[in-house]
Amino acid sequence: MQSITETTLAADREKIRRLPVPGTWAYLDRLDVEAGTSVSAHVSAPASHRIELLRLGRRAVIDPAASMDDDRTEAVVLAAVDRPATPQTIAPGSFVSIGGVPLPSGPLSMGLWVRLWRIPVVDVVQVAWQALMAEIDYPHRARFGLLVDHLGRVGLYWGDGGPFRHEWLHMGPPVFAGRLGEWRHVAASADPQRGATIFVDGEAVHDVAGPLPLSKPAGTPFRIGAMAEHGEAADLLDADIALPFAGSFVLDAKAVKDIFTRRSRLSPSDLPDEGLEGFWPLDEEIGATVRDASGKGRHGRILNHGTWMVGGPDFDPGKRMPLEYDPSADPGHGHGLRLSSDDLMDAGWPVSATFEIPADAPSGIYAVRVQLAGQAVADSLETAFVVTRKKPRRPGTIAVLAATNTWHAYARRPTNELAVYGLTSTYYSIHLNGRPFYHLGMKLPLPYATPFGYESKRATATGSTHLVRTERHLEAWLDREGYAFEFVTDVDLHRDPALLKNFAALAIVGHSEYWSKEARQGVLDYLAAGGKVVSLSGDTLSVRVAFNDDCTVMECRKIVFEPDARWLAPDMWGESWHSSDRKAGGTFRRLGMPPYDVLGMSFKGMIDDGTPTSFSSYTLLDPEHFLVKGPHPVVADAQGRIGLKSLNGSGGASGYEFDANLDRTRLADAPLPGVTTIASALGQRNIEWLGDPNHGADLIHWQRPGGGEVVNFGSIGAAGALPVDEGFANLLRNTLHHFAIEKSGAPR
C-alpha cells in the first residue's frame, strides 16, 4: 500500500470551474508586515490601473475641520507601479478529489450518508445537478455517478465512459424535497448484466433493467461532492457527507439495509471482503487529506478546505454539550465533512505588485491603493495593512494592538447590492447553503478594511466606524503627543504571546473582539508580571478564534441563544468545537475565560443606528481619583461630563459597541475587586445589551489582584475622542504618566 504522500492525488491536477469577479478588488498576502520585509498585492481590475503603496497621514485623520479628501491628500505615495487590466476569476467550492488508479470496470456499488442543505438551483440552464459521487466530465467523458437534481431526486448515471447520454441517467423519486438538513443514506449497486438499483435509507427506490453499458475509465478523477464539466470540477455539493465507500461488487437489498442500520458504526469489515475499492471514514477532522481505509491507496484531497467537526448521522447537534465534552471520546459523534459550493480560503490571484518596507519605516497603519485609469482618487480602492515592530526602538514604548482579526471577521460582509459568493465570507454572513461560516481565509479581499471611509451610509451619517480608522485615531494622537509606540497585530500576538514583555504598556484599540487563546494568555502573563494595559476598545476580547499552522485560515464557532442563521443556535451547539484544536468555541465568557478576568469589564451593548443621539458622553463619577486629578486636570462640563465629542460617532465617546462593569451587565452584583469606576455613560439606550438596557460604557481603573494594572475606557468611540475632547485626552495622558511612560518624540 502506498503512503498518502507517495500516492499521486488527482487533486494536484484539478481545475475548478471559474466564476467572474465584477469590479475592482485587491488583497494583500498578509496584514502583519514587519518593518524590513515586503508586502505583495493581488489585484483584480477591469481596466489599466496604478497600484500605490501609501504611508497614511497622521494629521487630517484627527483634525475635526479636515475632510476625508484632506486625509487622502495627506497620504504619502512611497512607491507605485502601473499595470494593464487584470480581471481575475475565483474558483470556490469544496469537494474531495480521489487519487490512485481508476475504479475497475464491471460491477460497482457505492454509497454515503448525505445531509443536504441546498437543492440544486436552476438558473440559465433547465437542469441542475449536485454530484454526490461521480466519475463524470460532462458532456464528453461520463462513466458513473450518484447525483441530486433540482427537484430533489436522486439519480444514477451509468455510462460507458464516453459522451453523456440522457437515456443512461436514471432518476429516482424526490427523496430530498422537504428533507433538507436531515441525514439520509444514498447508495446504488450496478451489474452491467442484470441492471442497477438506487437505495435511500436502506430501501430500494428505483430499479434499472439491464443490460447496462460496459463502464470504462473516463480519464477524469473520481470525486466526492463534485463532478466536472468541460474539464473543470463543477456541480458542487452543498451538504454534509459521511462514510462514503465504493466497491467492485454487487450489493443486494439486505446488504444495503445492513449498511444503513449500522449507521456511524460502519467499517470496512462490514462490506464484502473482496472488491472493496475505497472506504473513507472521514475521521481526520482536520487538514486536507482524506484517508482511504480500504487498503487500495485511493486517498483523497479536499479542495477549498471544507468543514470538519460537524458530526455524523448519529450525532444530535442539539444536545447542549457540557464544555468538558470530548468529541473524540464520544462514539456517537461520528465523523462528517461539510462541503459548500462557496468555500474559498485563497483567491489564488497572481502577485500584481510587491513593495519593500524599509527596516526604519515608522510602525503603523499603511495602505495599498488601486486606482483605475481616469478614476478619481476618492473612487479608488484602498486596503489597509499594518507595519509592525515586535521589538521597540526605544525604552518606554507602547505596543498598539491592531484588531486585525476583527477586520477579517467583518470586512468582506456582503451588501444588499452585491454578494460575490466565495468573496463575501465573514462571521456575519452565511454560505449559499444557509450554514454559518466557520472558516475565513486570510488571502481574500477586505473591502471594508479601508483607511478612508465607513462601512455603510448609516455609519457615514454619524462618522462612526469599527474598522481601521479607530486604530488610526490612536496612532495619530500618540504621534502628535510625542509618545513612542510600535504597532503589532492580533496574529503577531497569537504567534508570539511573549512579545509584550518588550514593551512598557499595551494599548488595545478599536473593535478588538476576536482573540485566540494564545493571545489572551499572552496578555494575562504580561499583566501577572506587572504589565500595564490601557483599552480603548468596545466588545473587547469577546470571541475565541483559532488558526491553522501558517495562520492562513481563521476559525470561529460562534454560538447564540436565539435562532440566527449566521451563528450556532442551541439546536446546533454540537458543532461548536473547533477542528483546529478540538476545543470548544464560542465566547470566552461561555468558555470560562471571561474578558473581565483580563480587562475588568466585558461586553455591555451596541448602539449604532445612524442617528447622532445614539452616542453618549460619560459622567465623571470619581472626580477625586488620582487619574482625574493630574498631572493634567480632567475638567468636566457643568453637568460633570467628559467625552462629549468623538471623531468616531457624533454625540459622544460611548458608542458603536461598549463594555461595562459586571453589575451593569448583571453578571455579578458589583464590579470586580480592585475596580474603581471613574466615569460611566449613564442613561445611554442600547439596541443590543446585557443587563441594563439604558447604560453605556464604563471607564475604570483596575489594580488587578493577580498583578498588573488596567485602565479601560470601554468603547470603540474612545480613541476618536482623544483629539477633540480634552477631558478624555488628559485622562489618557495621566494614565500613561502613571504607567511611567513619558513623551519622548515618537518616530515619524
Length of the chain: 748
482-487 mean pLDDT:
98
Same domain (yes/no): 54, 140: no
For the chain, what is the mean pLDDT? 94
Q: Say if residue 63 is in the same domain as residue 203.
A: no
**Any domain includes 34:** yes
What is the band of 3 on the pLDDT scale with cuts at 50, 70, 90? Answer: very low
Are residues 23 and 61 both part of a single domain? yes
514 lies in some domain: yes
Task: Give the pLDDT confidence score for residue 746 in this predicted structure.
Answer: 47
pLDDT for 24:
96
Q: Which cell numbers hold the place of 458? A: 448609516
Residues 652 and 677 both lie in one domain: yes
| Poorest-pLDDT segment among 417-426, 431-440, 471-480, 739-748 | 739-748
Q: How many domains does the chain have?
A: 3
Q: Are 141 and 218 in contact (CB under 8 A)?
A: yes
User: Are 364 and 486 within one domain?
Assistant: no
Indicate whether 230 belongs to any domain: yes
Domain assignment of residue 259, yes or no? yes
Across the range 44-55, mean pLDDT stands at 98
What is the arithmetic mean of pLDDT over 724-746?
92
- The answer to whether residue 528 scores a pLDDT higher than 70 is yes
In a domain, 620, yes or no: yes
pLDDT for 413: 85
The answer as to whether 74 is a domain residue is yes
Q: Identify whether residues 204 and 324 lie together within a single domain.
A: yes
CATH assignment of the domain containing 677 = 3.40.50.880
- For 256, the 3-state DSSP assignment is helix
Query: How sure is the predictor about 745, in pLDDT bands with cuts at 50, 70 and 90?
Result: low
Say yes or no to pLDDT of 637 above 80: yes
How far from each other are the two terminal CA atoms of the chain, in whole angstroms?
61
Decide if pLDDT at 12 tops 70.
Answer: no
Asked whether residue 430 is domain-assigned, the answer is no
- Give strand ranges (E) for 164-226: 169-171, 183-191, 195-200, 203-209, 222-224
**402 contacts: CB under 8 Å, gap ≥ 6:** 31, 365, 386, 471, 487, 488, 489, 490, 509, 510
Question: 611 and 643 in one domain?
Answer: yes
Each residue's pLDDT tens digit, 169-191? 999 999 999 999 999 999 999 99
Say whether both 255 and 286 belong to one domain. yes
Per-residue model confidence (pLDDT) at position 744: 80
Q: Are residues 319 and 249 in the same domain?
A: yes
pLDDT of residue 10: 45
Q: Please state, in angstroms and rounded to a whole number, the distance separating the CA atoms of residues 719 and 648.
A: 8
Query: What is the number of H-type helices and E-type strands within the chain?
Result: 12, 43
Q: In terms of DSSP bridges, do strands 543-547 and 553-555 run parallel, antiparallel, or are they unpaired? A: antiparallel
Q: What is the CATH number of the domain that holds 372?
A: 2.60.40.1930
| Shared-domain flag, residues 630 and 673 | yes
Q: Are residues 30 and 177 in the same domain?
A: no
Residue 169: which domain range?
93-339
Instruction: Tell me the CATH number at 324.
Output: 2.60.120.200
Cβ–Cβ under 8 Å, residues 457 and 39: no
User: 391 in the Ramachandran plot: left (φ > 0), alpha (ψ -120 to 50) or beta?
Assistant: beta
Q: What is the 3-state secondary structure (H, E, C) of 348-368?
A: CCCCCEEEECCCCCCCEEEEE
Q: Report the candidate in 222, 655, 732 with the shortest Cα–Cα distance to residue 477.
A: 732
Does position 321 have pLDDT exceeding 90, yes or no? no
Whether 587 is in a domain gets the answer no
Please state the rounded mean pLDDT for residues 333-340: 97
pLDDT band at 8 (very low <50, low <70, confident <90, very high): very low
Same domain? For 139 and 30 the reply is no
pLDDT over 70 at 417, yes or no: no
Q: Across residues 51-77, what is the average pLDDT?
A: 97
Q: How far is CA 593 from the centre of its chain?
A: 21
